């Protein structure tokens, strides 16, 4: 039997141009996660839908790409002030009626402001989404501020500053450190504002800010929960679609920091401070669209240096040896402009300041000489992968993840790619990042100290509930999605009861002060305590884990959903907090209702 031999066509040798193009091609973008979709309306409103059908609950978040860093000089606190006034009603809603309606339907709502964004959200039964979307769209276009409301609410934000900042030496010192860290960029100004400038804010200021910056073309709508993409798109087109875009509403370029040539040192004493706290911080690159590799390496570096009391570099060198009661590192790249990388040490009682700085210098010098331990690097990678898996368990957390990312200028693809970029960080990448922020770059060294002659406290125990400054995203703290909305489904969620609409809520008695929006979401600072300032700009209310950092958190400052990588350690409560963290709305006292 004769076999036919088929000749094979000769293969053309690949051209050098083709090989070069293939080698230069960027990594393939991560696929869109199951149940996540996005679209943009004709008026520029960008929307993300996250389907999660495990419970008949939905979260709606509207993120405006405008924050306190966009304020003009002399008007600090204006973005946060308007956030409060956004609850004062529209042509169809009485003051406080939006929040009372949400509460009457078994839901919760609130808002928070950071350097780079201002956010409003509701968590409610899924069949009430049309109701809350209608009201949210109404205040996007039709806000009304009464002559009596603006002065009363200004007093509320002043009292909020008195409670959260003026009465806390760490917060006061953090503001001053931020001002020195960023002496040209607006990240050096507090989100809540300087008191003297807050006292001068007017109704006209608030309305001008609203008319200039609140528009669909600078907003991001995120809906997560028991919904479908088609349902959300239909509702968004119905309620947000008719609102016209505003040319010029986008944030303008901000003044940037000049090159720093001199190291800066600061020291503050206060009798309320129980123990010395040393912080070293320097300006560092942020996450940028299509360019997140440096930020990923800095995130891994922060975790390697200070993510665990037992296994991190500073934990082993300073805490386990008894030289310090706390040591940590902080970085959060979720910001519009450069943020900060910071190291914090609380020396053991009796350790002099110069000795504490020498110990920190020695630990960092050893790391720069030896490089990262491969087992530790793999442990961080494993923690990051685990955090990504756990992250899928919270619809609110995922909504926060996409909302904040898009609010600071990233794309949906950038948010999707982030976990894979973190997983690809190598030892060489980490050392390049370390050289960037640890080798001779001028920064700020600050000491927050007890009063002269005061007895030094023994330090917060490992695992205490105190806020961990190193774990909070620098730049802006984000509130943990769970803290902002609560983990328990809204009351009556899924029940067939008819929605309670604004018309069904009795109006307050004439002459009585209108009740302010209900704050059933808790008193946690809004996401974003992680702020540029001392540490890094950006971030959820304090206590939320940051998506950028594998370190487990309780909230990130406010930050969403990052589960502990390994034995986290809490920093002393008096450690200097990140400045610029998102400030969550604190409602004014509710007036008694007349029978």
| Tokens found for residue 198 | 């807050």
| Alpha carbon separation from 327 to 522, 533, 571 (Å, rounded) | 29, 20, 8
**211-214: long-range pairs with CB below 8 Å, 24+:** 212/246, 212/248, 212/249, 213/64, 213/66, 213/70, 213/249, 213/251, 214/64, 214/66, 214/140, 214/143, 214/249
83 a catalytic residue: yes
Alpha-carbon span 201 to 430, nearest angstrom: 45
Q: How far is CA 525 from the centre of its chain?
A: 11
Phi, psi (5° rounding) for residue 227? Answer: -140, 170
The answer for residues whose C-beta is within 8 angstroms of residue 310's C-beta and 6 or more apart is: 316, 320, 566, 567
CA dihedral sign of residues 342, 347, 352, 357: negative
CA dihedral sign of residues 335, 340, 345, 346: negative
Alpha-carbon span 43 to 246, nearest angstrom: 9
Kindly name the residue from 51, 83, 317, 584 that is annotated as catalytic: 83
578 three-class SS: coil
Report yes or no: 546 and 332 within 8 Å, Cβ to Cβ: yes
E strands along 472-530, which residues?
none
For residue 513, give the DSSP letter.
P
CA dihedral sign of residues 256, 259, 261, 263: positive
Alpha-carbon span 311 to 306, nearest angstrom: 9
Burial 479-502 (b: 16+ CB within 10 A, else e): bbbbbbbbeebbebbeeeeebbeb
Alpha-carbon span 274 to 574, nearest angstrom: 7
Report yes or no: 505 and 97 within 8 Å, Cβ to Cβ: yes
For residue 371, give the DSSP letter.
-
Look at residues 531, 373, 340, 291 and name the one whose alpha carbon lies nearest to residue 441: 340
Look at residues 130, 143, 151 and name the one whose alpha carbon lies nearest to residue 214: 143
Report yes or no: 292 and 422 within 8 Å, Cβ to Cβ: no
Question: Which residues are identified as catalytic?
Answer: 83
């Amino acid at each position: 039997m004769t076999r036919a031999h088929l000749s094979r066509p000769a293969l053309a040798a690949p051209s050098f141009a083709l090989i070069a193009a293939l080698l230069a091609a960027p990594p393939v973008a991560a696929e869109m996660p199951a149940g996540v979709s996005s679209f943009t309306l004709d008026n520029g409103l960008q929307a993300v839908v996250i389907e999660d059908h495990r419970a008949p609950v939905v979260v709606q978040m509207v993120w405006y790409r405008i924050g306190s860093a966009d304020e003009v000089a002399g008007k600090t606190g204006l973005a946060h002030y308007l956030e409060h006034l956004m609850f004062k009603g529209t042509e169809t809603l009485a003051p406080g009626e939006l929040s009372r309606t949400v509460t009457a339907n078994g839901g919760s709502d609130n808002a928070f402001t950071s350097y780079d964004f201002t956010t409003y959200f509701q968590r409610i039964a899924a069949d009430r989404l049309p109701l809350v979307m209608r009201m949210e769209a109404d205040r996007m276009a039709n806000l009304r501020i009464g002559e009596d409301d603006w002065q009363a609410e200004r007093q509320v934000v002043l009292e909020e500053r008195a409670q959260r900042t003026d009465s806390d030496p760490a917060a006061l010192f953090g503001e001053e450190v931020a001002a020195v860290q960023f002496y040209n960029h607006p990240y050096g100004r507090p989100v809540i504002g300087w008191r003297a400038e807050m006292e001068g804010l007017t109704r006209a200021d608030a309305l001008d800010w609203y008319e200039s910056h609140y528009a669909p073309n600078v907003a991001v709508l995120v809906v997560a929960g028991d919904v479908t993409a088609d349902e959300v798109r239909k509702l968004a087109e119905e309620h947000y679609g008719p609102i016209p875009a505003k040319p010029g509403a986008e944030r303008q370029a901000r003044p940037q920091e000049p090159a720093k040539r001199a190291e800066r040192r600061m020291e503050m004493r206060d009798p309320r401070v129980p123990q010395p706290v040393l912080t070293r911080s320097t300006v560092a690159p942020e996450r940028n669209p299509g360019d997140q590799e440096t930020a990923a390496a800095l995130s891994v570096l922060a975790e390697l240096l200070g993510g665990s009391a037992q296994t991190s570099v500073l934990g082993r060198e300073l805490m386990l040896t008894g030289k310090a009661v706390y040591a940590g590192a902080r970085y959060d790249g979720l910001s519009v402009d450069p943020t900060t990388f910071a190291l914090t040490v609380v020396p053991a009682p009796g350790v002099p300041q110069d000795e504490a700085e020498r110990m920190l210098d020695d630990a960092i010098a050893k790391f720069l000489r030896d490089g990262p331990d491969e087992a530790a690097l793999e442990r961080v990678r494993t923690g990051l992968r685990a955090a990504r898996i756990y992250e899928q368990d919270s619809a609110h957390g995922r909504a926060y993840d996409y909302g904040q990312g898009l609010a600071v200028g990233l794309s949906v693809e950038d948010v999707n790619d982030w976990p894979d970029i973190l997983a690809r960080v190598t030892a060489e990448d980490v050392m390049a990042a370390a050289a960037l922020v640890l080798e001779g770059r001028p920064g700020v060294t600050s000491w927050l100290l007890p009063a002269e002659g005061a007895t030094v406290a023994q330090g917060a125990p490992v695992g205490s509930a105190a806020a961990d400054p190193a774990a909070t995203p620098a730049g802006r703290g984000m509130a943990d999605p769970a803290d902002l909305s609560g983990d328990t489904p809204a009351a009556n969620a899924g029940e067939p009861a008819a929605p309670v609409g604004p018309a069904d809520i009795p109006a307050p008695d004439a002459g009585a002060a209108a009740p302010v929006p209900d704050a059933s979401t808790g008193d946690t600072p809004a996401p974003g305590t992680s702020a540029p300032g001392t540490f890094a700009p950006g971030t959820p209310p304090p206590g939320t884990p940051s998506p950028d950092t594998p370190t487990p958190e309780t909230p990130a400052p406010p930050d969403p959903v990052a589960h502990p990588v390994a034995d986290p350690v809490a920093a002393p409560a008096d450690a200097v907090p990140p400045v610029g963290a998102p400030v969550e709305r604190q409602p004014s006292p509710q007036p008694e209702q007349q029978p």
